[in-house]
A = this chain, B = another copy of it.
Amino acid sequence: MADFNLNILGCGSALPTTRHLPTSQVIDLRDKLYMIDCGEGTQLQMRRMRIRFNRLNHIFISHLHGDHCFGLPGLLSTLGLLGRTASITIHAVQEIENYMKPVLDVFCKNLPFEVKFNFIDPYKHALVMEDRSVSVFSIPLKHRIPTCGFLFVEKPREAHIIREMVDFYQIPVRKLKDIKQGDDYITEEGEVVPNSRLTRPATPPKKYAYCSDTAFNPDIIPLIEGVDLLYHEATFGEDEKIRAKETFHSTAAQAAEIALRAKAKKLVIGHYSARYDDLSVLKEEADRVFPDTILGLESMILPV
| Chain A positions near chain B (C-beta within 8 angstroms) | 14-18, 21-22, 40-41, 43-44, 47-48, 64-67, 70-71, 73-74, 77-78, 81-82, 95, 98-99, 101-103, 105-107
Q: In the complex, which residue of chain B has the Cβ closest to the Cβ of A50?
A: B18
B16 lies within 8 A of A47 (CB): yes
Whether A15 touches B99, Cβ cut-off 8 Å, given contacts A40-B41, A44-B41, is no
Q: How far is the CA of A47 from the CA of B18 in the complex (A)?
A: 6
Q: In the complex, which residue of chain B has the Cβ closest to the Cβ of A65?
A: B107
Q: How far is the CA of A81 from the CA of B103 in the complex (A)?
A: 23
Q: How far is the CA of A71 from the CA of B14 in the complex (A)?
A: 14
A106 / chain B contacts, CB cutoff of 8 Å? 64, 95, 98-99
Q: A98-B102, A101-B102 are in contact. List 4 more A-B contacts (CB 8 A).
A: A15-B78, A22-B74, A40-B41, A64-B106
B40 lies within 8 A of A43 (CB): yes
A98 / chain B contacts, CB cutoff of 8 Å? 102, 105-106
A48 / chain B contacts, CB cutoff of 8 Å? 18
Taking the closest CB of chain B, its distance from the CB of A195, in whole angstroms, is 49
Q: In the complex, which residue of chain B has the Cβ closest to the Cβ of A73?
A: B70
A74 lies within 8 A of B78 (CB): no
Residue pairs across A and B with Cβ atoms less than 8 A apart, 19 shown, are A14-B81, A15-B78, A15-B81, A15-B82, A16-B44, A16-B74, A22-B74, A40-B70, A40-B71, A66-B73, A67-B74, A67-B77, A70-B73, A70-B77, A95-B106, A98-B106, A99-B102, A99-B103, A99-B106
Q: In the complex, which residue of chain B has the Cβ closest to the Cβ of A82?
A: B15
A17 / chain B contacts, CB cutoff of 8 Å? 47
Q: In the complex, which residue of chain B has the Cβ closest to the Cβ of A103?
A: B99
A40 / chain B contacts, CB cutoff of 8 Å? 40-41, 43-44, 70-71, 73-74
Q: In the complex, which residue of chain B has the Cβ closest to the Cβ of A17?
A: B47
Q: How far is the CA of A106 from the CA of B99 in the complex (A)?
A: 7
Q: How far is the CA of A140 from the CA of B168 in the complex (A)?
A: 79
A71 / chain B contacts, CB cutoff of 8 Å? 40
Q: How far is the CA of A162 from the CA of B241 in the complex (A)?
A: 60
Q: How far is the CA of A18 from the CA of B51 in the complex (A)?
A: 13
CB-based closest 7 A-B pairs: A40-B74, A102-B102, A66-B77, A99-B106, A70-B74, A41-B41, A16-B44
A64 lies within 8 A of B107 (CB): yes
Taking the closest CB of chain B, its distance from the CB of A35, in whole angstroms, is 15
A44 / chain B contacts, CB cutoff of 8 Å? 16, 18, 21, 40-41
Q: How far is the CA of A101 from the CA of B99 in the complex (A)?
A: 9
Taking the closest CB of chain B, its distance from the CB of A47, in whole angstroms, is 5
Q: In the complex, which residue of chain B has the Cβ closest to the Cβ of A12?
A: B44
B77 lies within 8 A of A14 (CB): yes
A74 / chain B contacts, CB cutoff of 8 Å? 16, 22, 40, 66-67, 70
